[in-house]
Amino acid sequence: MTTSVQLSEVPRIAAEVAQRLRSDAVERERVGAQPTVEVALLRESGLLRLLVGVEHGGLGGDWPLAHRVIHTVAAADASIGHLLGYHYFQLWRTRLFDVPEQQTRLERATVENSWFWAGVSNPRDAALLARPVPGGVSISGRKFFATGASVADRLIASGTEEETGRKIAFTLDASAPGIRYLGDWDNLGQRLSASGGVEFTEVFVPDGDVLGQQPDREESRAARDSLAPLGFQLLLSRLHVAIADGALSEAARYTAEQSRAWPLSGVEQATDDPYVLAEYGRLDARLAAATLLVDAAARAFEEAERQGTALAAEARGALGVSISRAKVVSTELVNETGTRIFELTGARATGARYGLDRYWRNARTITLHDPVSYKAREIGRHLLTGELPPVTGYS
């Protein structure tokens, strides 16, 4: 693989990356090391520049193609697909502020240096305080959770201005003095996602790296800015269907190659058992349906982004409903798939060397990011009253 790639080659390159990740996914997850080698693989592939405009040296891809790439990679290794999706999302977030010169500089530097991006922000955690100092701001505080930050080159983060109480966003070098990664991620799934707490102690951010304040609702860019939580929810839905896809594919391979027919089935091969066939068929059909929902939402998200500051509240709300539908269906699908595959593969498939449990663990971990029942409530309220989802950090 090479970083000198054409847009038309992206699906093939993503498949090559996925194959390399799939070949030792079980062992790498068991070791649980920082995913520095995996991020290096993403750099080498050239996929990190997918969403950067051609005028800045990138490939000029769009969100539907980015989602296709994320799906391919995440089906092979959910943690690395997670990191790649966050890279696209966090770099994209720099476009939401009216700082075109800064955006140009960041995107060109991303291509030139093969930067990998991550974010340090959380709607429920406003622990970072920004204090004005000569030439910039000083950031202090502790974020209890961030994904990918400890293996990133650049970060986009948010904090609260000490004087005004308003939230601001800024970018910074992930290895800047005063940043400490706590390495406290010890969850049952997404073990290679480099998640965990981050502590900032008087980290200097020059004025040129401050993106700007969160807009008030009456500002022209408020609707465009509010696409960020929707894009994040869409990304989670993509990871759900990708994990389900990986689980179903790996289980089907195991059934075809290793499962034995049950003595009372009356057939010689497990692949001829009518109950096994029917259950695989149901799961495959539901996976296809959930994937179509996520694909449609990705296209709608791309269309909304292209409207820029002209995006109407009604269009933004309709997009929110579409993404919530994808989130509800994909959450149910991935959690059920991670469990049901064991009924289809048999007792021997629980062997640690096969690693089939990682799909359920990854699904169970990532689907708890925020309660999916609140997404179902948004859909139901819209159906019954016509009310659109509120604009929050999660909707």
Alpha helices in the chain (DSSP H): 10-23, 25-31, 36-45, 63-76, 78-93, 100-113, 222-225, 227-257, 274-307, 313-345, 357-366, 372-385
Region 117-127 average pLDDT? 83
E-only strand ranges, 129-249: 129-133, 136-147, 154-161, 167-173, 179-181, 195-206, 210-213
Angle between helical axes of 78-93 and 227-257 (0-180°, round to 10): 160
Q: What are the residues facing 120 on neighbouring strands?
A: 157
Q: What does the alpha-carbon distance between residue 304 and residue 179 come to, in Å, rounded to a whole number?
A: 35
pLDDT above 80 (res 126) = no
**118-213 fold:** Butyryl-CoA Dehydrogenase, subunit A; domain 2 (2.40.110)
Q: What does the alpha-carbon distance between residue 190 and residue 75 come to, in Å, rounded to a whole number?
A: 13
Q: What does the alpha-carbon distance between residue 44 and residue 348 come to, in Å, rounded to a whole number?
A: 37
Question: At 312, phi and psi to the nearest 5?
Answer: -85, 155
Architecture label for domain 222-385: Up-down Bundle (1.20)
Architecture label for domain 7-115: Orthogonal Bundle (1.10)
One-character DSSP codes across 227-272: HHHHHHHHHHHHHHHHHHHHHHHHHHHHHHHT-B--GGG--SBGGG
For the chain, percent of residues with pLDDT exceeding 70: 99
Q: What does the alpha-carbon distance between residue 215 and residue 166 come to, in Å, rounded to a whole number?
A: 9
Task: Give the model's pLDDT for residue 311.
Answer: 93
Region 141-153 average pLDDT? 94
- The conformation of residue 120, written as its DSSP 8-state character, comes to E
Q: Which DSSP helix (H) or strand (E) runs through 119?
A: strand 117-120
Region 349-359 average pLDDT? 96
Q: Among 1-10, 80-89, 130-139, 148-157, where is mean pLDDT lowest?
A: 1-10
Nearest to 355 by CA among 237, 235, 191: 191
Task: Give the model's pLDDT for residue 286.
Answer: 98
pTM of the shown model: 0.96
Task: Give the model's pLDDT for residue 20.
Answer: 98
Contact 118, 148 (CB under 8 A): yes
Tokens read off for 93: 């977030």
Q: What does the alpha-carbon distance between residue 101 and residue 94 come to, in Å, rounded to a whole number?
A: 11
pLDDT above 60 (res 1) = no
- Give start-end residues of each CATH 1.10.540.10 domain in the chain: 7-115
Question: At 345, phi and psi to the nearest 5?
Answer: -100, -30
Condensed to tens digits (0 to 9), the pLDDT of residues 204-237 reads 999 999 999 988 887 878 888 999 999 999 999 9
Region 144-153 average pLDDT? 95
- Give start-end residues of each CATH 1.20.140.10 domain in the chain: 222-385
Region 152-173 average pLDDT? 94
Average pLDDT, the chain: 95
Task: Give the model's pLDDT for residue 125.
Answer: 67
Region 304-332 average pLDDT? 96
For the chain, percent of residues with pLDDT exceeding 90: 91
Task: Give the model's pLDDT for residue 33.
Answer: 95
What distances in angstroms separate CA 3 from CA 58, 114, 164, 276, 302, one per listed residue? 10, 9, 44, 43, 25
pLDDT above 60 (res 2) = no
pLDDT above 90 (res 391) = yes
Task: Give the model's pLDDT for residue 135.
Answer: 97
Task: Give the model's pLDDT for residue 121.
Answer: 85
pLDDT above 60 (res 3) = no
One-character DSSP codes across 368-392: TSS-HHHHHHHHHHHHHH-PPPP-S
Choice between 249 and 164, residue whose per-residue pLDDT is larger: 249
Alpha helices in 114-154 (DSSP H): none
Could you tell me the pLDDT band of residue 251, with boundaries at 50, 70 and 90? Answer: very high
Angle at 333 between CA 328 and CA 338, to 5 degrees: 135
Angle between helical axes of 274-307 and 313-345 (0-180°, round to 10): 160
pLDDT above 90 (res 201) = yes
